[in-house]
Structure 1
Amino acid sequence: MMPMFKKALIILSLSSVVVVPSLATQVQGAALAPQEKAATYGEEFWVSLTSPIPAGWVIVRTLGTQNLIRNVSGASYGTEVEVMLASPIPSGWVMVRAFRGSNVIKNVNGASYGTEIEVMLASPIPVGWVMVRAFGGSNVIRNVNGAPNGTQIEVMQASPVPEGWIIVSSGGNSKVIRKIG
């Protein structure tokens, strides 16, 4: 009797491995609306302070136990938004100034090659941008995305070196980088 019970238990276990995931897929599919509406630029939601903030969204206001978040995905180049200090900074955005306990961030996605922008010292540096000089309590960054091969630029020692660039020389407060491909 005991071997038969073990065999039945094994068959039951194996069938649950196959059946349960397929049922879960059917249930998940049934729960979805026929056409989910994608979030649009400027859309806002109140969320709990403990809620994760999705990529492309920022915190624009806090009230009690809630944050007001805004979707900034799809914003035009140069768009500025005032955000709370605790707000994430989306990819391709920089911090340009502090303002009444908050930061003003600017969208630099779509900037043309060679564009320079003054940013706060704590600002993230977007991919393909370099720090070219310090200016008081800020840094000036330059977009090198789209630079032709062979381009050489003098940047600050603390500057990131974009992918496809090498350091030609380094000394003092600066280094020279060159695009090789």
Structure 2
Amino acid sequence: MTRQRAYHHGDLRRAVLTAALDVIRTDGPAALSLRDLARRAGVSHAAPAHHFKDRAGLLTAIAAEGFGLLAASLGDATDLRDAGVRYVRFAMDHPAHFQVMFQPDLHRPEDPALQEARSRAGDRLREAVTGAVDADDARLAGIAAWSLAHGFATLLLTHNLTDPVGDRAPEDVFRSLTGLLFRSGD
């Protein structure tokens, strides 16, 4: 089998992650089965365990990858509003990662790779917040900004904003929303 040959070249981990992301995107994390993922990757049912040990290990790898991707997405943000727009765009571009990242009951929150990736993403968000508000307000402003971006992204992904957003780009709607809520006094 071609896919088994790919495994011998080091592609099994990525193949299983890709298959898992496809399953999560279409059916949610509850539908994941290592046995099914092995079948999809064309390898023995035990092969994914070599890379992930178990289902929680696989979901931990997905969460860590997601936080790494989020950190990279936020890295070039020009200001807090741009960071929020990038957060929403990340959720739209990586819905399966997004579903797993914020459900600690699915993965191992104490995993060092996950903690490091989460810390990098958190640092990027904190940088955007501290550039926008006084230090005394930074923690609460960070919670408010995260809540707004995360809530908007979650509502988008669960199709609760289909009618209100309509044909407009969600990033533009989010930008307008933040403009309404946080007038700069210009």
Task: Give the shorter-chain TM-score range.
Answer: under 0.3
Structure having the larger proportion of residues in helix: 2
Give TM-score scaled by structure 2 length: 0.22
Structure having the larger proportion of residues in strand: 1
Q: Which has the larger radius of gyration?
A: 1
Give TM-score scaled by structure 1 length: 0.22
